[in-house]
């Protein structure tokens, strides 16, 4: 899910539906957003909440051939849908179930989208501009990279890191200016995933 209007409105993906719901903090459905795709997930408000970036698929599930997962952007009223990413057509290393375009995150100050993607046999973080014109590999860590989050000022990047066999997951914190990476976790737990920044009062 994602928030707008100072957190007073949320966009969510109900499990039993193929559209997004925009709700208030009481759970009241304010509006719905139909992307026109068989599968839509991981909605993210961008451009002040006027548009939404999301993961889309050409079939209802990865279990069905032709899923073709990519990131899209669409207006809040369901108009002007545009595909942002293009997975390399000759790369088969993600297989059927690996992320080709994972959950999108918005860099809070530079306004580009970051996401995980398994390419050339390794999960890495990639980026795409909101107009879809610029694509680049975001980081060069040796470990596989997955779910991640940006600090509100855009100066820090928290990353889920894991080995090829997925036997150990760690959370790393990267100084975005210096690219210095520090591992925050130990091996007490095998799974340490999906980091999120929170504001401390």
Q: Which residues lie closer than 8 Å to 189 by C-beta, 6 or more apart?
A: none
Calculate mean pLDDT across residues 12-24. Answer: 90
Query: Does residue 61 lie within any of the structural domains?
Result: yes
Overall pTM > 0.75: yes
Residue 15 clears pLDDT 90, i.e. is over it:
no
Burial class (CB in 10 A: 0-12, 13-18, 19+), 144: buried
pLDDT value of residue 199:
83
Instruction: Grade residue 16 by pLDDT with cuts at 50, 70 and 90.
Output: confident
Domain ranges, residue 8: 2-97
Calculate mean pLDDT across residues 41-52. Answer: 97
Instruction: Grade residue 82 by pLDDT with cuts at 50, 70 and 90.
Output: very high
Check residues 74 and 200 and name the one with the higher pLDDT: 74
| The total number of structural domains that make up the chain | 1
Query: Does residue 133 lie within any of the structural domains?
Result: no
Query: Does residue 126 lie within any of the structural domains?
Result: no
Query: Does residue 74 lie within any of the structural domains?
Result: yes
Q: Which residues lie closer than 8 Å to 162 by C-beta, 6 or more apart?
A: 123, 143, 144, 146, 168, 169, 170
Segment 172-183, tens digit of pLDDT: 999 999 999 999
**Nearest alpha carbon to residue 84 among 74, 98, 99:** 74
Segment 112-147, tens digit of pLDDT: 999 999 999 999 999 999 999 999 999 999 999 999
CA–CA distances in Å: residue 118 to residues 16, 114, 125, 128, 177: 28, 13, 9, 15, 25
Query: Does residue 90 lie within any of the structural domains?
Result: yes
Query: Does residue 80 lie within any of the structural domains?
Result: yes
Query: Does residue 43 lie within any of the structural domains?
Result: yes
Buried b (16+ CB within 10 A) or exposed e, 120-137: eeebbbbbbebebeeeee
Query: Does residue 88 lie within any of the structural domains?
Result: yes
pLDDT value of residue 45:
98
């Amino acid at each position: 899910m994602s928030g707008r209007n100072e957190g007073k409105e949320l966009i969510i993906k109900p499990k039993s539906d193929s559209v997004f719901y925009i709700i208030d903090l009481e759970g009241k459905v304010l509006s719905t957003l139909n992307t026109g795709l068989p599968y839509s997930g991981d909605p993210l408000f961008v451009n002040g909440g006027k548009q939404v970036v999301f993961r889309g698929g050409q079939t209802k599930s990865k279990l069905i051939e032709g899923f073709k997962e990519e990131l899209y952007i669409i207006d809040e009223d369901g108009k002007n849908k545009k595909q942002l990413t293009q997975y390399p057509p000759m790369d088969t290393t993600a297989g059927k179930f690996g992320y080709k375009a994972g959950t999108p995150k918005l860099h809070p100050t530079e306004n580009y989208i970051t996401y995980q993607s398994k390419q050339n046999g390794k999960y890495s973080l990639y980026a795409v501009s909101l107009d879809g014109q610029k694509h680049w590999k975001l980081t060069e860590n040796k470990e596989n990279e997955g779910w991640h989050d940006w600090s509100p000022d855009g100066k820090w990047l928290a990353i889920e890191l894991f080995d090829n066999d997925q036997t150990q997951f760690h959370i790393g914190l990267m100084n975005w200016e210096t690219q210095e990476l520090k591992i925050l976790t130990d091996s007490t737990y095998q799974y340490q995933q999906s980091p999120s920044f929170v504001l401390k009062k």
